[in-house]
Amino acid sequence: MKIPFSWLKEHCPIEKSPQDVADDLVRLGHEVEGIETPRAGVKGVRVGHIVEMKPHPDADKLKLLKIDLGDVDHLAIVCGATNMVEGDKVPVATVGTCLPNGLKIKKGKIRGEVSFGMCCSEAELGLAEDADGLLILPQDAPVGEEVGEYLGLEEAVFDLDITPNRGDCMSLRGIARDLAADYGLPLIEPGDEVVATDDSVTTPTVGVVASEDCLLYRACRIEGVKVSASPDWLQARLIAAGLRPINGVVDVINYTMLDLGQPMHAFDADTLHGDITVRTAKEGETFTSLEGKEVSLHAEDLVIADDNSVIALAGIMGSEPTGVTEKTTNIVLESAAFRPARISITRRTCGLVSDSSMRFERGVDPGMIALAMDQVAHMIVGLFGGKVSATTTVGDADSLIKDTQIQVNMQRIASRLGIEVPKTADAVLERMGFGIEHQGDTLNFSVPSHRPDVRLAEDISEEYARVIGFDNIPVVMPPLTNIQPSKVDTGITDAVRLGFVQVINYAFISPQEQRLFVAEDAPQDDKDLVLPNPISEAMSVMRRSMFPSLLNTAKYNMNRQQTGVALVEQGRVYAGNMIEHTETNMLAWLMTGDVQQDTWYAKTRKADFFDLKGAVESWLQGRGLTARFMADDDVQGLQAGQTAKIFIGKSVAGYIGKVDGDLADGFDLSDDVFVASINLDVLHAGKKAKFQPIPEFPSIERDLVFLFDKGATSDAILQTVRKACGQHLVNASIFDLYDGEGVPEGKVSLGIRFVLQDGKRTLTQEDSGKAMQAVIDMMVNKFEAELRG
Amino acid sequence: MKEVDELKAQLQDLQNKALALFAEAESLKVLQELRVAYLGKKGELTSVLKGVGKLPPEDRPVIGQFVNATKTTLAEALDKAEVLLSDKEKQARIQAERIDITLAGRTTSRGVVHPVQQGLNEMTAIFSQMGFEMAEGPEIEDEFHNFDALNIPAEHPARAMHDTFFFNAEGDADAKLLRTHTSPVQIRAMQACVDAGGEPPLAVVAAGRVYRCDYDVTHSPMFHQVEVFKVDKDVSLAHLKGVLQHFLTAYFEKDVPIRLRPHYFPFTEPSAEVDIGCVFCNHKGCRICKGSGWIEVLGSGMIHPNVLKAVGIDSSVYSGFAFGLGVERLVMLKHGIPDLRLFFENDVRFLRRMGAK
């Protein structure tokens, strides 16, 4: 909400600077988004008199102007507008001026003709969104005067963000009330001039059916109005407050809404048929808004209707055909109280927002209903003439305006704030309109009609906190309640320690990306969680796989001069439908391109399956877990022969594999891409490390080399070896793999290294010999392996 | 010439020759061979000694002394030569082993924690140390936990402040949505406590991803929040200020001034927005803080009685404070990161730079 300072001063005689007032508003809980200075914004723009206008010799659409600014010499200006004539007065931005849109005026040459400034439109002066041609000033505008001063532009305008609980502050009066209370200054009461009613004008007949939602409805009829544009001062105020002038009647209503906070509406009486009824809409009824938008209504929408049709959505907007125009002569004026929740629901279902609905939703002071209506009638008659009928009132105004009484214990407020409430706070609250009476610890608090947000003891504590000032609340550390064992999840830091860069991607991906690693479900068990209102198609489905986002990140980086990336991401994947869905915590890796670049000690090398497998194994080992990798040729998106399921015990914990080449190509990734994922939710805690004595007796190492058929897996061989060796085996590993020259076709030479040890004695040659023989026998029997040299 | 003199002369000869050879020796290996050749069991000195037996008994001790003296002389000379040589050889080896120590060390490539994760880790660690227990909640939430229980009923204007990703029509009996803040974890943690028959005190920190349907230079549709709350008897606004001051000082690693501004949130009463003294200009006023010297960092307040009521905690006995902060925002302020979008572009050059501390 925009608050022109000069207008604010009409409600309260403030003498502070705009910046000081802004600081005080912040302290009182009103967020100041900025202080605009419209007049300063057009400094250097002066009233110019067009003394001569000639066509540009080289450009049909340009004019050469001679401008009198009251200085000795006339100014030559090249101008592209067409709406001015010789003798007009226009705003002229002189050289050096900086316009609100950021344009800095310089001396220039346009098609060979020198120009020493610019004639401006409303838009260029920041007075309107857009404009057609120059702003033509009245003939009596004094030549050479600053346009900002001549137009009476505001010196300062506060741009406030009013919180949703403070409907009362959606007006000049509301803001002034808070400031006046804080400063100890008087709040100037609005004028009480009332137009004498004229019995010759028929009072409108109003029926309120939906009395739960329409708490009070007042209406009067004004006849013989000559609707014309509102006066300049009024238009200037509306513009400064961010509203567009429309016509005299509408402007007066809007002005009063800004001034006192009460939204009102005027109908063209001659477009109405019969009486006015406030009721809920009938299913299927439609309504055409002032903006020309047609909406179909629901049974819960509150409407104002005549005998034929809906003439307004209560508290939101009038209908187009019944609106006041320049041709209107008779009007019906409405000032009412509607239930905020009802307005809020209709506003949302109809998708119509207005200055009126914003106020009704937040709560309007019913105390202003009559006063605001009187002010509007008074202004309309004064400015545009007319005779006013007596007012029809439906509803109990007195009970609506009555103060609300709350009783609370002062100690509760003190305990909630952590400070004893100082006596001075009461005086400020009383100036804000609250009634305060202390009886021992009991506080009898009466809340005026403009503060429907204050209903509970806690609300009162907030009012006290505001006037005490949050800065004056002490800083106290609360007592420690409980110490919890630290459960720091080191999953991601462990992965990072293995050389991976952690990335964080959005949880939503495109439907196409979803299908890369997850097949489409049968329609009846669709497990894609789709966002109906996504940011874009590319972010419209909750991911069921971590891989698409990782591939995108790899693509992004490989396109930016990286020769290889190793990425890791921790996040969730989502599947299911509205009734049942899952969120699973995942850790996922991606490696592609160089794992080693050329250095003085090593040659460049590209990532392969075992680089990633090693990382995954190390990560699992770090949590005390050992995995088994089982080849799986049937994982969508991953290449057969280089893909495995990862088992922890009997459960599948994840997958690792090479991304299908064509799929990787789709992400512009030309090097092999390897990905892995682990479902963190299936991992058990792993064994806690337990002490074991360091073996006393030395271990012995033995090597055996066999020729195996290709296809024998090291996993199967080592498992067999473990069985053969028996209890003395500490470790068996493949130390050599060779299938080059000297190895027959279809065979592979594998070197196995054994470490044997006994906890109670030093092993002998005989012990190791026995074990090796057992291994050789098993290898021959089971794999038809042949011992080499 | 007496035999004894002859032997003496012979020994003297041997000694002279040996000393000359020792001096000429060029390596420890040669020296070792010479030691064997002269002092070994079958060495020259031994063979000279064989002649001693032929001497008359009275001459034997004389010659014996002489032999011993020669032996000592030779042994000492050998030791001395050995020290000299080994020293020389060591020097030569050191010279030969000289390397360019300015060459790059052998490394494997280092990983980095994402700056947002780093921030999350630092923040949750501070709150853990202050006795707040970690909690988690689902990202796909229902309207009850995300709105209703937090005192934001359907018609509440504050709902418009959350640009919510709904999965189905808002207001459906079981409408699902992506949580717009981590506050639903507050509800879940309190519910869990009450359902288990427990009662406050409760002190909880919950971190996680949240979603808003808003995407521009300063908004990301997904970001991270940390939610902190405490419910106990006599919890006050002063306690909230205490925890905030401690946290912000610990996180920014310096004394930052803080300012609470009265504000409105449906789930707290009183509510306050919290500013810190601008970390870019040290509270003096600059372009980033729009000249005010203050930067808004989080929203906070005393838990609204309706929130406690929604989970079955008696608000006449218990009170609590709560606040939620945007992780990205604090990380940006701490490290001077100019653009929110950098976090989700995941450019490894940026990530490595930020991970360098």
pLDDT for A253-308, tens place per residue? 999 999 999 999 999 999 999 999 999 999 889 998 887 888 899 888 999 999 99
Please enumerate in sequence order all residues whose Cβ is within 8 A of that of B102, keeping only pairs 6 or more positions apart, or say none.
Answer: none
In chain B, what residues touch A344 (CB-CB under 8 Å)? 155-157
DSSP string for residues in A600-662: SS---EE--HHHHHHHHHHHHHHTT---EEEE-S--TTEEEEEEEEEEETTEEEEEEEEEPHH
Residues of B in contact with A484 (CB under 8 A): 128, 131-134
pLDDT at A267: 96
**Quick check: B113 and A601 CB within 8 A?**
no
pLDDT at A578 over 90: no
CA distance to partner chain A, nearest, from residue B90 (Å): 27
Q: How confident is the model over A377-392, as pLDDT tens digits?
A: 999 999 999 999 999 9
Contacts of B235 in chain A (CB under 8 A): 478
- Evaluate whether A213 touches A339 at the Cβ level (below 8 Å): yes
Interface test with A, best of B151, B204, B269 (most A CBs within 10 A): B269
How many angstroms separate the Cα of A474 from the Cα of each of A471, A547, B256, B283, B285? 8, 51, 16, 21, 26
Q: Is the pLDDT of residue B243 over 60?
A: yes
Query: Is the pLDDT reported for residue A154 higher than 80?
Result: no
Contact B346 A553 (CB under 8 A): yes
Q: What was the pLDDT predicted at A759? A: 86
The pLDDT value given to residue B356: 66
Selected residue of B140, B141, B177, B255 to mutate for chain A interface (largest A Cβ count, 10 A): B140
Q: How confident is the model over A619-663, as pLDDT tens digits? A: 999 888 889 999 999 999 999 999 999 999 889 999 999 999 999
Q: What is the pLDDT of residue A776?
A: 94
Mean pLDDT of B148-166: 80
CB B145 within 8 A of CB A335: no
Average pLDDT of chain A, as a whole number = 92
Cα separation, A592 vs A609, whole angstroms: 10
CA pair distance A180, A497, nearest whole angstrom: 61
- Per the prediction, chain B carries an average pLDDT of 90
Amino acid at A295: V
Q: How do A108-110 and A59-68 pair as beta strands?
A: unpaired
Nearest CA in chain A to B258: A471
In this structure, of A116-120, B31-35, B65-69, the range with the lowest mean pLDDT score is B65-69
Question: How many CB atoms are closer than 10 A to CB B5?
Answer: 11
pLDDT digits (tens, 9 = 90+) for B113-133: 999 999 999 999 999 989 999
pLDDT over threshold 80, residue A420: yes
* pLDDT band, residue B157 (cuts 50/70/90): low
Q: What are phi and psi of A86, to 5 degrees?
A: -55, 135
What is the distance in angstroms between the Cα of B249 and the nearest Cα belonging to chain A?
13
- Binned at pLDDT 50, 70 and 90, residue B156 comes out as confident
CA of A590 to nearest chain B CA: how many angstroms apart? 13
The partner residues of B277 in beta bridges, in order of sequence, read: B294
Going by pLDDT thresholds of 50, 70 and 90, the confidence category of residue B43 is confident
What local confidence, expressed as pLDDT, does residue A446 receive? 96
Task: Say whether A481 and B235 touch across the interface (CB within 8 A).
Answer: no
Which carries the bigger pLDDT value, residue B340 or residue A39?
Answer: B340
Which residues 403-422 of chain A have a CB within 8 Å of chain B? 412, 415-419
Q: What is the mean pLDDT of residues A208-236?
A: 93
Residue whose C-alpha is closest to residue B256's, from B266, B273, B244, B271 = B244
Do A319 and A290 touch, CB atoms closer than 8 A?
Answer: yes
Which residues in chain B are closer than 8 Å to A495, comparing Cβ atoms? 111
| CA dist., res. B314 & res. A453, Å (int) | 22
Task: Label residue A217 by pLDDT band (50, 70, 90).
Answer: very high
Cβ contacts of A198 within 8 Å, gap of 6 or more = A387, A388, A389
3-class secondary-structure state, position B270: strand
Task: Please name the residues in contact with A82: beta carbons below 8 A apart, sequence gap of 6 or more.
Answer: A61, A133
**ipTM for this prediction:** 0.87
Flag if B128 and A486 touch (Cβ within 8 Å).
yes
Q: Residue A159 half-sphere exposure, CB side, CA atoms within 13 Å?
A: 7
Query: What percent of chain A lies above the pLDDT cut of 90?
Result: 71
**What per-residue confidence (pLDDT) applies to A620?**
94
Identify any residues that bridge with A675 across adjacent strands, giving them in sequence order.
A590, A657
Structure tokens at A361: 């939703």
Which pair of tokens denotes residue A529?
């969680």
Q: Which of A319, A451, A337 is nearest to A393 (CA)?
A: A337
The angle subtended at Cα A85 by Cα A81 and Cα A90, nearest 5°, is 70
User: Between chains, do A344 and B245 touch, taking CB under 8 Å as contact?
Assistant: no
- Give CA–CA dist B182/B138, Å, rounded: 9
Is there a contact between B157 and A500 if contact means CB atoms under 8 Å apart? no
pLDDT value for A701: 94
A317-318 vs B294-303, strand pairing mode: unpaired
Task: Please give, rounded to a whole number of angstroms, the shortest distance from the CA of B92 to a CA of chain A.
Answer: 25
Find out whether A97 and A44 touch, Cβ atoms under 8 Å.
Answer: yes
Instruction: Please report the pLDDT score of residue B357 as a whole number.
Output: 59
Q: Is A507 on the interface with B (CB under 8 A)?
A: yes
Per-residue pLDDT reduced to its tens digit, A473-508: 999 999 887 666 556 677 899 999 999 999 999 999
What is the enclosing helix (H) or strand (E) of A410? helix A410-417
Q: Which amino acid is at A678?
A: I
Task: Return the beta strands (E) in A355-479 as ranges.
Answer: 387-388, 392-394, 404-409, 435-439, 442-447
Share of chain A above pLDDT 70, in %: 98
Distance from B251 to chain A by nearest Cα, in Å? Answer: 16
Mean pLDDT, residues B294-321 taken together: 95
Cβ-defined contact of A532 to B166 (cutoff 8 Å)? yes
pLDDT at A327 over 60: yes
Extract the tokens encoding A375. Answer: 């002010």
Residue whose C-alpha is closest to residue A334's, from A325, A323, A343:
A323
Alpha-carbon gap, residue A645 to A654, rounded angstroms: 6
pLDDT band at A109 (very low <50, low <70, confident <90, very high): confident
Q: Contact B134/A581, CB-based, under 8 Å?
A: no
pLDDT of residue B142: 92
H/E element holding A416? helix A410-417
3-state secondary structure of A70: coil
CA distance B80 to B70: 15
pLDDT bucket at B93, cuts 50 / 70 / 90:
very high
